Amino acid sequence: TARFDPSQADAKWQRAWDEAQCFAADSNSPKPKSYVLEMFPYPSGRIHIGHVRNYTMGDVLARYKAMRGFEVLHPMGWDAFGMPAENAAMEKGVHPGGWTRDNIANMKAQLKRIGFALDWTREFATCDPEYYGHEQALFLDLYAGGLVTRKQATVNWDPVDMTVLANEQVIDGKGWRSGAEVEKRKLNQWFLKITDFADELLEGLGKLESWPDKVRLMQENWIGKSQGMELRFALKGDGVVGGEQIDLYTTRPDTIFGATFVAVAPDHPLAQRAADGNPAAQDFIATCKRGGTTAAEIETAEKLGFDTGIVAIHPLAGGDLPVYIANFVLMDYGTGAIMAVPGHDQRDFDFATKYGLPIVRVVAEDGADAATPLAEAQTGEGRIVNSDFLDGKSVDDAKAAVIARAEDAGWGEGKTVWRLRDWGVSRQRYWGTPIPFIHCGNAVSDGEGSGCGVVPVPKDQLPVTLPEDVEFDTPGNPLERHPSWKHVACPKCGRDAVRETDTLDTFVDSSWYFLRFASQPADKPFDREELAKWLPIEQYIGGVEHAILHLLYARFWTRALKAIGLIDLEEPFASLFTQGMVTHETYSRNQDGRPVYYAPTEISREARAARLTADGGEVEIGRVVKMSKSKKNVVDPDAIIADYGADAVRWFMLSDSPPERDLPWSEAGIEGCGRFVQRLWRLFGQYNASAAGEDITLERKTHQTIAAVAEDIEALSFNKAVARLYELTGLAEKAAPSATRSETIRTLMLLSSPMMPHLAEEAWSRIGGEGLIAQAAWPEVIESLLVEDEVTIAIQHKGKLRDTLTVTKGLPKDEMETLALASEKVQRSLDGAAVRKVIVVPDRLVNIVT
């Protein structure tokens, strides 16, 4: 037979699947349902190899599930709002919508060329007014349910781009695009009350057994439940009112006798008061604010402090503790003020060392006592020392004792605090879902001072669509500048009012898209009964970079929608899989101290060196790292599909590396896959329906492979499934023609079809297989062929081996005995002697005693 030609076969079968509507999920099907989903892509321009790996895994599972008799929902769409579209608008003068639509068209064509079994009838982009209109409706429902608030929040404000920046967009205190010094501003922002669900979201993690442990742990840390105590120290000093107290939060009340000073955040009211009329304090606070804003940056920054001159009184020991302003204390955690215990907290230790404050040991680990000096903070377990009535207690007992004492005396109580903050969803950007509210009053120019305030857009006026005619030539939010868009009549009183010009964080769009995939009525976001048919998602697959935010937000939306009575689901993703990255070495040359990278296609690679094809000169070979545009170590999916065909690329994505590990791209690897495609094709060509004869060994191996590949796919161990298919292919190649061999070849078509669907379809059609292989059933396993079911047993008489017999494994004792006694050799040895006893060891031996 001729070579398999993907350039013909791929397109042909993709068309056949489309025409047969093979992958359109029917929610009315009587079959059991299975919802397989990969994280939908951002339409940045091109599909990259990471997408290909991600979607290939989901595709194999979806195709396999369909073969197992499930009605499979495997949809695809576009996470289409966001900053890159506006950046493109600013840089290239194109409209964000047009840019996005073009990218979607390109990327969709790319996905089609890989032959994914996707239900394109359910495709949507989050920038479709229909989709974001339903999102606006849900936002209003959440508002009505008390889960949306508007409050003042401190934001990073870029004064040049005139926009709020996320923490990640502030680099060394400067805006990532403008390079301008970022200011902290207090602005009214919209929030979703995720903190109402902190406890549930934490508890729920315990039930997500099919999630990777590392992802659960990351979410747990992000939610950050901390059991501690809030306590109050009395204050004295300049400017302090009599009886005034300061609120502190600690997780270590047991160390209270080790507290040697108090520290407050730079934006704590007490710090503000100390700065009043004190230029040195003002300078200090300004310095603190210039530092990075993330918790990680604050942790690692050098400790800085300013003595306010205010003094706090220790509630148990009675001594004076100076109150410092400290850069490592955060205003929005706990109470924004701490009792500092340098002996047992490293931050406090560093600070005390720098400012010459006392360090007192109050916990002694094994081998230490009250007098053992501290070279660093002791943060482990131990017995309490130097602590009056707590001496000798364990850490836990001492915590309880201090809380009890404080609650009695009224200066403190046990308290749980959370690291999780409400989710600020306001973005001062154009390319996002408009937040469906109208402001009546304050900003109105009709002379009237006040109006109706913040008014929801009536649902029958949704969607609030984005205006098309916007300009990106000036910084700031185009919605704010648009001449007419924001001016509307107040839905309540009819007077002039203005629309909210903030749009929603794009993470909102991806928090419920999986619901809309399952059910798409025109008049509402989803239909509850339809959702119940498909959800929860049986398998969700995506990158670990979404371990925290996207997955937590989606879990929160699901619970929030349940709380307001819209759905019946608690957790959207029954099982989660995070795949590894596709990696490649990098090629670069040093130019003026900076690396200039070259693409693999520009390189000729030798055993130890790499040369730039253009000039033949050597380039440096860098480490094997994630493929990225900036390092140019990317391969273009289109190019490799053109070279090797979709099936070879799919096969490569599944081979060699376990799916959770990184997959190093190699030219040799993809070439090997291309060769295997042809090898299978040759074997498929040897199918002969009229071959006769049995081959029990091959039959056994075939059924073992059917069972094992099924297990591997269900466990997402694709590389193992691939290895088994290699093995069976090798055996079938070597086997002599027989009916069994033809059956094995046919089975191989079915088993390989989730991975190499085009090749399998082509082979299937040539042997006259019924219908499309994509719709064929997974081969039945004959259970009895799974076990190596014959064993050789020994038969002894008078301590000597008289005969061996091959019997079925697990043969009952009495049958073994009967067979043994029936042996001619045994009868000869017995020579008529009376049998006194027969000892049978199952599957091993029969010992006859006379």
Q: Which of 44, 226, 386, 688 binds ligand ANZ (CB under 6 A)?
A: 226
Tell whether 629 is in a known binding site: yes
**How far is Cα 195 from Cα 202, in angstroms, rounded to an integer?**
11
In the bound state with Zn ion, the residue whose beta carbon lies nearer, of 494 and 737, is 494
Q: Which of 97, 266, 305, 336 binds ligand ANZ (CB under 6 A)?
A: 336
Residue 451 found at the interface with Zn ion (CB under 5 A): yes
Number of residues located near Zn ion, criterion CB under 5 A = 6
Q: How far is the CB of 422 from Zn ion (least distance, A)?
A: 27
Q: How far is the CB of 496 from Zn ion (least distance, A)?
A: 9
47 binds, among Zn ion, ligand ANZ, none (CB under 5 to 8 A by kind): none
Residue 154 found at the interface with ligand ANZ (CB under 6 A): no
Exposure string over 804-826, b if 16+ CB within 10 A, otherwise e: ebebeeebeeeebbebbeebeeb
**359 contacts 374 by C-beta, under 8 angstroms:** yes
Residue 330 found at the interface with ligand ANZ (CB under 6 A): yes
The one-character DSSP state at 689 is: T
344 binds, among Zn ion, ligand ANZ, none (CB under 5 to 8 A by kind): ligand ANZ
767 binds, among ligand ANZ, Zn ion, none (CB under 5 to 8 A by kind): none
Site for Zn ion in 782-811 (CB under 5 A): none
- Which residue, among 482, 508, 488, has the nearest Cα to 427 in the 3D structure? 508
330 binds, among ligand ANZ, Zn ion, none (CB under 5 to 8 A by kind): ligand ANZ
The sign of the dihedral angle between the CA atoms of 459, 460, 462, 468 is negative
Exposure string over 608-619, b if 16+ CB within 10 A, otherwise e: eebbeeeeeeeb
Piece of the chain touching Zn ion by CB under 5 A; list 365-373, 483-491, 535-543, 670-678: 483-491
**Amino acid present at 600:** P
How far lies 562's CA from each of 145, 291, 500, 525, 573, in Å? 11, 41, 27, 14, 15
Look up tokens 């600070």; give the residue. Answer: 351
DSSP SS3 for 6:
helix
341 binds, among ligand ANZ, Zn ion, none (CB under 5 to 8 A by kind): ligand ANZ
Q: Which of 63, 252, 555, 631 binds ligand ANZ (CB under 6 A)?
A: 252
**578 contacts 542 by C-beta, under 8 angstroms:** yes
Residue 251 found at the interface with ligand ANZ (CB under 6 A): yes
Site for Zn ion in 490-509 (CB under 5 A): 490, 492-493
- Which residue, among 348, 424, 322, 297, has the nearest Cα to 289 in the 3D structure? 297
**Amino acid present at 391:** D
Site for ligand ANZ in 270-329 (CB under 6 A): 328-329
324 binds, among ligand ANZ, Zn ion, none (CB under 5 to 8 A by kind): none
687 binds, among Zn ion, ligand ANZ, none (CB under 5 to 8 A by kind): none
Q: How far is the CB of 68 from Zn ion (least distance, A)?
A: 58
Q: How far is the CB of 304 from ligand ANZ (least distance, A)?
A: 14
Q: What is the DSSP string of 455-520?
A: EEPPGGG---PPPS----SSSS-HHHH-SSTTEEE-TTT-SEEEE---EE-HHHHTTSHHHHHH--
Residue 488 found at the interface with Zn ion (CB under 5 A): no
Residue 444 found at the interface with Zn ion (CB under 5 A): no
In the bound state with ligand ANZ, the residue whose beta carbon lies nearer, of 336 and 478, is 336
**How far is Cα 587 from Cα 629, in angstroms, rounded to an integer?**
13
Cis peptide before 463 (omega within 30 of 0): yes
Piece of the chain touching ligand ANZ by CB under 6 A; list 330-338, 397-405, 661-669, 717-725: 330-338
In the bound state with Zn ion, the residue whose beta carbon lies nearer, of 358 and 453, is 453
Q: Record the tokens describing residue 208, joined without a space.
A: 């997500």
Q: Record the tokens describing residue 108, joined without a space.
A: 């969709």
Q: How far is the CB of 346 from ligand ANZ (least distance, A)?
A: 9
Q: Record the tokens describing residue 477, joined without a space.
A: 């939010």
- Which residue, among 695, 703, 766, has the nearest Cα to 737 in the 3D structure? 695
Look up tokens 């990073």; give the residue. Answer: 156
Q: What is the DSSP string of 104-167?
A: HHHHHHHHHHTT---BGGG--BTTSHHHHHHHHHHHHHHHHTT-EEEEEEEEEEETTTTEEE-G
Piece of the chain touching ligand ANZ by CB under 6 A; list 2-10, 130-138, 196-204, 336-344: 336-344
**How far is Cα 138 from Cα 60, in angstroms, rounded to an integer?**
34
Site for ligand ANZ in 340-359 (CB under 6 A): 341, 344-345
In the bound state with Zn ion, the residue whose beta carbon lies nearer, of 50 and 451, is 451
In the bound state with Zn ion, the residue whose beta carbon lies nearer, of 94 and 493, is 493
493 binds, among ligand ANZ, Zn ion, none (CB under 5 to 8 A by kind): Zn ion
Piece of the chain touching ligand ANZ by CB under 6 A; list 99-107, 310-318, 337-345, 461-469: 337-345
**Residues at the site binding ligand ANZ, with contacts judged by CB under 6 A:** 226, 249-252, 255, 328-330, 333-334, 336, 338-339, 341, 344-345
Annotated binding-site residues for ATP read 629
Annotated binding-site residues read 629
**Residues at the site binding Zn ion, with contacts judged by CB under 5 A:** 440, 451-452, 490, 492-493
